[in-house]
Amino acid sequence: MQLRQTWRWFGPGDPVSLPYIRQTGAQGIVTALHHIPHGEVWPVAEIKRRQAEVAAGGLSWDVVESVTVHEAIKTRTGPFQEYIDGYKQTLRNLAACGLRIVTYNFMPVNDWTRTDLHYAMPDGSLALYFDWTDLAVFDLYLLKRKGAESTYPEAVRREAEARYRQYTPAELEGLAGIVMFGIPGEKKQTLEGMRARLATYDDIDHHALRENLKYFLQEIAPVAEEVGIRLAIHPDDPPFDILGLPRIASRAADFDFILSATTSPANGVCFCTGSLGANAENDLPGMVRRIGSRIHFVHLRNVKRDPQGNFFEDDHLAGDVDMYAVMKEILRIQQGLSEPIPFRPDHGHQMMDDLGKTTNPGYSCIGRMRGLAELRGLELGICRSEGW
């Protein structure tokens, strides 16, 4: 059995339309109700409306990405229990509409983080890039986070100071917007807002955040199991502590903890090769074997690292992730399951006719279509050679 090919769509405002997505070869859609504020219950009527929009485009809504975890739950402060109860109700409502996989993450304050959304590749396409020095410029000179100096090596601090002096006000404003970009279709952060949110984590270290995640999982996993939903936690992106915040879904040991927090079969992982591949210490094929059938959803993306830990998003079959080995291990797991594991080509270069268009960073059409085509070919070749 092969995997199920899906495509992320950010709703009616997405520049990539459903009719175009049908032409890519994708079988299903990965989406969410981004217009509903974090923490509010997703009404059945809104879920069904989105399902109808997707169905009208000739596709099916296969995976929810994401039901965002409210910051009060992550910090276990304020009305966090009310937000957990609301999350449970959203799971029940999604299940009542036939949705069975829900992705989420437990990254504090910031979601995925990059420092350049238009990194020029040798072939003229544009990629996403993460640079520690530019992050330090943002952190030290724009965010002005207390104690940030101790976060970075001296060489990075020196280079950050030099860049800060060279960057124009427009370039600095652009850098801040990129670091705080967040999820397309959702409210953008401000420096003042980020400072306030960072302050809520002053007394939360790795241990405390892990315990908060454990509590959350022990609360929601029984409900998910009861209604037939599989949960899939997305790894930290990038898989390192940033901006003074702890990251707790970055390494094999992190996922051992997460999966042991509750042994419910509903408690699973969204295996993202791009996020995990940014850390050279991660053995991705080994992690796939370790997590096994509790991989409920897969993001396939490649990255190229440098010795300083900076990275850019490479072609799907290039970069430092051994995509052949990862795909083979995932397909090995797939053969023991009765339903296909959904995967999507995660991100893609802005290229060809998409250059110059307004696109969601990482989510232009042609680059992802190229990635999907390459991944489908790799998958078919492995299955044929293994007799699957």
Rounded to whole angstroms, the Cα distance separating 188 from 199 reads 18
Q: What confidence score (pLDDT) does residue 271 get? A: 98
- 365 closest CA partner among 186, 175, 125, 129: 125
Q: What residues contact residue 263 under an 8 Å CB cut-off, 6+ apart?
A: none
Rounded to whole angstroms, the Cα distance separating 278 from 305 reads 7
| Per-residue pLDDT reduced to its tens digit, 11-34 | 999 999 999 999 999 999 999 999
Q: State if pTM tops 0.85.
A: yes
Verify cis geometry, omega within 30 degrees of 0, for the bond prior to 238: yes
| Per-residue pLDDT reduced to its tens digit, 28-80 | 999 999 999 999 999 999 999 999 999 999 999 999 999 999 999 999 999 99
Tokens of 368: 């992802």
Q: Is the pLDDT of residue 187 over 90?
A: no
- Per CATH, the number for 4-112+195-386 is 3.20.20.150
Q: pLDDT-derived band of residue 186, with 50, 70 and 90 as boundaries?
A: confident
Q: pLDDT-derived band of residue 205, with 50, 70 and 90 as boundaries?
A: very high
Q: What confidence score (pLDDT) does residue 189 get? A: 84
Q: What confidence score (pLDDT) does residue 57 get? A: 95
Q: What confidence score (pLDDT) does residue 301 get? A: 97
Amino acid letter, 31: T
Q: What confidence score (pLDDT) does residue 220 get? A: 98
Rounded to whole angstroms, the Cα distance separating 368 from 164 reads 34
Percentage of the residues of the chain whose pLDDT score is greater than 90:
97
Average pLDDT of the residues in 167-188:
88
Q: Is the pLDDT of residue 188 over 90?
A: no
Q: In what order do the strands lie in the sheet with 302-305?
A: 116-120, 126-130, 311-314, 302-305
Q: What confidence score (pLDDT) does residue 215 get? A: 98
Q: Is the pLDDT of residue 126 over 90?
A: yes
Q: Is the pLDDT of residue 166 over 80?
A: yes
| Per-residue pLDDT reduced to its tens digit, 85-122 | 999 999 999 999 999 999 999 999 988 999 999 999 99
| Per-residue pLDDT reduced to its tens digit, 127-137 | 999 999 999 99
Exposed (0-12), middle (13-18) or buried (19+): which is 52, by Cβ within 10 Å? exposed
Query: Catalytic site residues?
Result: 234, 272, 299, 346-347, 363
Q: What confidence score (pLDDT) does residue 106 get? A: 98
Enumerate the domain spans of the chain: 4-112+195-386, 116-192
Q: What confidence score (pLDDT) does residue 59 get? A: 97
Percentage of the residues of the chain whose pLDDT score is greater than 70:
100
Q: What confidence score (pLDDT) does residue 317 get? A: 98
Q: pLDDT-derived band of residue 228, with 50, 70 and 90 as boundaries?
A: very high
Contact of 120 with 255, CB cutoff 8 Å: no
Q: Is the pLDDT of residue 386 over 90?
A: yes
Exposed (0-12), middle (13-18) or buried (19+): which is 207, by Cβ within 10 Å? exposed
Rounded to whole angstroms, the Cα distance separating 365 from 351 reads 9
Q: pLDDT-derived band of residue 184, with 50, 70 and 90 as boundaries?
A: confident
Q: Is the pLDDT of residue 290 over 90?
A: yes
Q: Is the pLDDT of residue 255 over 90?
A: yes
Q: What are phi and psi of 101, to 5 degrees?
A: -130, 125
Q: Is the pLDDT of residue 216 over 80?
A: yes
Rounded to whole angstroms, the Cα distance separating 149 from 141 reads 10
Contact of 28 with 5, CB cutoff 8 Å: yes
| Per-residue pLDDT reduced to its tens digit, 300-346 | 999 999 999 999 999 999 999 999 999 999 999 999 999 999 999 99
